[in-house]
Amino acid sequence: MPLINSPAFAADLLALFGELRTERVDIPVIQPAEPFLNMAGEDLRRRIFLTESETGESLCLRPEFTIPVCLRHIETATGTPKRYSYLGEVFRQRREGANEFYQAGIEDLGERDFAGADARAVADALACVERILPGRAFTVTIGDQAVFEAVVAALGLPVGWQRRLIQAFGQTELLDAMITRLAKPEAVTGLAPEVEALLAAGDDEGLTAYIAAEMERTGYLTNASRSPAEIVRRLKEKRNLAGASLDAAKLDALKEFLSINVSLRYAPGVLADFARAANLPLEKAIAGFDARVAAFSNAGVPLADITWRAAFGRPLDYYTGLVFEVTERGDHRVLAGGGRYDRMLTLLGAADHIPAVGFALWLDRIAALKGANG
């Protein structure tokens, strides 16, 4: 019997979840696909196993647990704060390894002490891997999407560019390409002279009428997915983004921020020094960051084992703040990973704002390490 399927392996982990005062939940394997397609991010979307119900509803095999745990919480109208735990198979198309593998984890919903909840998530993730793999040394890498968003906003970029950069957070090649593009503006070409003239004049009403007439003339209007007014809005945004650039000082500041890679012991001072040198108003972001570092210390998480990489993110669109991964020292394989996702429950239909943070354990990797060393 594979170690991961052994009753003792599962029982030990579930016992720890009980000690951590979580409520075990069972999540059906078949899930509505729409929440994952809308919220999970491109990396996960392209690996989902899709199917349909008899009525044509788009369904999928469970690719992860966070979204369905949150949906279950909303549907059962359970109060907060609430801590859920889970253990089961997930299904993803993968280039290497099995398409079916086990994950376990904890989702912490509704805790208003954000820094304390973040620290507890990291401490609990470490406790889980240390329980299963005793006597080993682990390292934690953290990033902070909220700090990155604050830096991007302080640089004064158009909102559209801010969204693009935030969506690329953690994707090094894509982010580098965007930074290169921001070094110089680009012109939008190929527009009809009439459109160019109306844009230059700022005549939105005239441009909308012109596009509506052209759509009517070509027969496109009756089948269009966007209205003429929506086309005008998107065209103006595209021109605005194409013409945007960062001056050399701000571009250097963005690159300098993304290059930060320090022990969490020194991170508060490094972040404060960066904000001061770049002359960026990051007081709120710095206060939240410092509070989390203090919470890590209070939770007994050794700061020397944690590295803050300012460019570090995880490939899921729903993260909003802390992101982290746990690895064995000297090994790149991720054993646990998670972060904060404060907007998710509202987007899924919760009547009230519910802050949330959680993590997942990659049990196949953990079991492989345990099995390799008895």
What is the rounded average pLDDT of the residues 223-252? 72
Residue 183 has pLDDT above 70, yes or no: yes
Residue 19 has pLDDT above 70, yes or no: yes
Given CATH 3.30.930.10, say whether it is the number of domain 3-150+275-372: yes
Contact 117, 56 (CB under 8 A): no
Which tens digit of pLDDT belongs to each residue from 98-116? Answer: 789 999 999 999 999 999 9
pTM for the model stands at: 0.82
Contacts 24+ apart (CB under 8 A), 284-289: 284/150, 285/144, 285/146, 285/147, 285/150, 285/151, 286/147, 288/114, 288/115, 288/146, 288/147, 288/321, 289/144, 289/147
Contact 146, 125 (CB under 8 A): no
Pairing of strands 50-52, 58-61: antiparallel
**Domain boundaries for CATH 3.30.930.10 within the chain:** 3-150+275-372
Q: How confident is the model at residue 1 (pLDDT cuts 50, 70, 90)?
A: very low
Q: How confident is the model at residue 372 (pLDDT cuts 50, 70, 90)?
A: low
Nearest C-alpha neighbor of 88 from the set 131, 30, 45, 26: 26
Calculated CA dihedral for residues 127, 133, 135, 141, nearest 10 degrees = -60
Tokens of 186: 């680009």
Residue 188 has pLDDT above 60, yes or no: no
Which tens digit of pLDDT belongs to each residue from 196-231? Answer: 777 777 888 887 888 888 777 776 655 555 788 888
Residues recorded for the chain: 374
Q: Please state which of the ranges 37-41, 56-60, 132-136, 216-220 shows the lowest mean pLDDT.
A: 216-220
